[in-house]
Amino acid sequence: MKIRYIITTVLISTIHFTTSAQSAELSGDVQASLRKAVTYFHSINSHGGYVYYVTPDLSRRWGEGPKDAETIEVQPPGTPAVGQSFLQVYHTTGDKNALIAAKEAAYALIDGQNQYGGWDHTIDFTNISHEKVSFDDNQTQSAISFLMALDQVIDDKKLTSGVGRALKMMITTQLDNGGWPHKYPEQGNYHDYATFNDGGINDCIRVMLEAHQYYGENVEVKKSLYKAARFMNISQLPPPQPGWAQQYNEYLQPAWARTFEPPAVCPSVTVKNLQTLMDLYEVLGHATLLEPIPDAIRWLKEIKMENGKWARFVELGTNKALYYDRPRIRVNSLEELHPERRTGYAYEVDIQERLDHAEARYKKAINLTHQEFCADKILSDAEARQRLSELEPMVKEIIESQEDSGAWITKNDRFKMHIERTRTQRWNGEYEVMDRVSSSVFNKNVNLLCEYIELKHRL
């Protein structure tokens, strides 16, 4: 009995030692992978910035269509997103090369910052005369988020000045009703409307919440947040359709944007707004920000379609799904749309996971004190261990798929063939296939590798 106990103890100790050694070896491999990834990706920059894709031989560059070596992308997963990835590596590993790459990405953005203090979706270094600030697709917002985050790490006058100009622009461009337009300055069309589409207003609010976090009790920032909170409440449509529209005219009515984007209630916007309301509640602490949520959740559950998805556009007054082709041609189903509309625009979306998450978060908000709710985002040790076990096979796969150069190459990437379009031309249905290096893949892999290291350090 005693001998058996000793043997068992030795076996357990050996297993524990082997597991620990393997874990330490994997952590070392993750660190090495991140160093290689940073070195490679930094080497493919242009003026310190990045596009969405490059071919492995760097002969072709892509963003929203082909790009030359003088043009970088502001829209994620371009320059700001890559810069955030470099900054995350620095925070996680202390790699000074990652901080250098992040600073260069920040300088690229500041060099392309326009007269208003914002950005369009690209920077062309042969002609830096951008006349528009775009809040579409997290363009200007992602740039400001990155610059503010880096401003917390390094003391740099150029960086601090760029952040100051950007925040002043955010205050200036906020509409009187508290929302933000699609683009600035005024153009006399739907670009002037308060726009939730593609997360426009949500990302603007996120920027102001981050500014409040980084720079404390800035009176103008706090005032902007209160205006935004009011807009979130007054823009909710009345029962029996208590959701939100993609865009609103000056009379706070759902309005047309592009010719396939009708006035309607939008489930995907609505579920995103639930999270924004709770984000605002965390900072401002006003329970009135939670009041619009239960009605909206009930409505979203009611309008789920038989195929398990939600229509992007729900007709005002009827809850019927809306499908519009160019130019403002209504059709009866997804199948009747032109292939460019059908494959290039999400007319039907699955928001179940996001809805479940919003509902669970709302229940915590009403059942916990405000202080408890704010602290609830921290993982318990048990949750951290569970997440670590989920990450381990993903991390191994990421490392195994990395080239010796440090690149992650998407083999035989298939994407729509680009043609120079006019307003009447559409995608011709043809695809190109080639190997490409993706900024999106780089950002995703870096995020997961850093998360793994952070959890290992914690546990």
Q: 157-173 vs 96-111: helix axis angle to the nearest 10?
A: 50
**Which domain CATH number covers 228?**
1.50.10.20
CA atoms within 13 A on the CB side of 459: 21
User: Is residue 22 located within the same domain as residue 74?
Assistant: yes
Question: Tell me, what DSSP letter sits at residue 310?
Answer: E
Question: Does residue 293 sit in the same domain as residue 421?
Answer: no
Shared domain for 233 and 115, answered yes or no, is: no
Place of tokens 């292939």: 339
pLDDT of 118: 97
Q: What is the pLDDT of residues 348-385, one digit of tens each?
A: 999 999 999 999 999 999 999 999 999 988 888 999 99
> In the predicted model, what is the mean pLDDT of residues 288-292?
98
Tokens 């933000």 belong to 180
- Assigned domain for 309 exists: yes
| DSSP codes joined into one string, 207-218 | HHHHHHHHH-S-
Residues 456 and 308 occupy one common structural domain: no
**Is residue 57 predicted with pLDDT exceeding 50?**
yes
Q: Is residue 444 part of a domain?
A: yes
Residues 398 and 290 in one domain: no
Q: Which of 50, 108, 104 is nearest to 79 (CA)?
A: 50
Question: How far lies 179's CA from each of 118, 176, 192, 202, in Å?
Answer: 17, 8, 11, 9
Domain contains 187: no
364 located within any domain: yes
Q: Are residues 350 and 404 in the same domain?
A: no
Where is 328: in which H helix or E strand? none
Q: What angle do CA 233, 234, 235 make, to 5 degrees?
A: 95
Indicate the helix (H) or strand (E) that contains 236: none
Query: Are 387 and 373 in the same domain?
Result: no
In terms of DSSP H, where are the helices of 157-315? 157-173, 200-215, 219-234, 267-284, 293-302
Say if residue 151 is in the same domain as residue 262: no
In this predicted model, what pLDDT tens digit does every residue of 386-410 receive, in sequence order? 999 999 999 999 999 999 999 999 9
Give residue 307's domain range: 194-199+216-377
| Rounded-to-integer distance, Cα 74 and Cα 66, Å | 15
Mean pLDDT (whole number) for 202-207:
98
DSSP 62: E
In degrees rounded to 5, what are phi and psi of residue 391?
A: -75, -30
Instruction: Count how many domains the chain has.
Output: 2
pLDDT digits (tens, 9 = 90+) for 240-264: 999 999 999 999 999 999 999 999 9
CA distances from 331 to 262, 268, 328, 336 (A): 12, 21, 10, 6
- Are 130 and 239 within one domain? no
181, part of any domain: no
Find the mean pLDDT for residues 78-102.
98
37 located within any domain: yes
Same domain, yes or no: 6 and 100: yes
- In the listed set 358, 377, 396, which residue is the last one of a domain according to the structure? 377
Task: State if pTM tops 0.95.
Answer: no
Whether 72 maps to a domain, the answer reads yes
My answer on whether 372 and 389 are in the same domain is no
Could you tell me the sign of the dihedral formed by the alpha carbons of 278, 281, 286, 287, in that order?
A: positive
For 72, what's the count of Cα atoms within 13 Å in the CB-facing half-sphere?
Answer: 30
Read off the tokens for 131.
């006349």
**Rounded mean pLDDT of 408-420?**
84
Residue pair 213/225 in contact (Cβ under 8 Å)? The answer is no
Give the model's pLDDT for residue 426.
65
Q: Are residues 390 and 352 in the same domain?
A: no
Q: Domain boundary at 340, 358, 377, which?
A: 377
Confirm whether 208 is domain-assigned: no
- Indicate the residue among 323, 349, 377 that finishes a domain: 377
Residues contacting 224, CB < 8 A, separation 6+: 170, 171, 174, 208
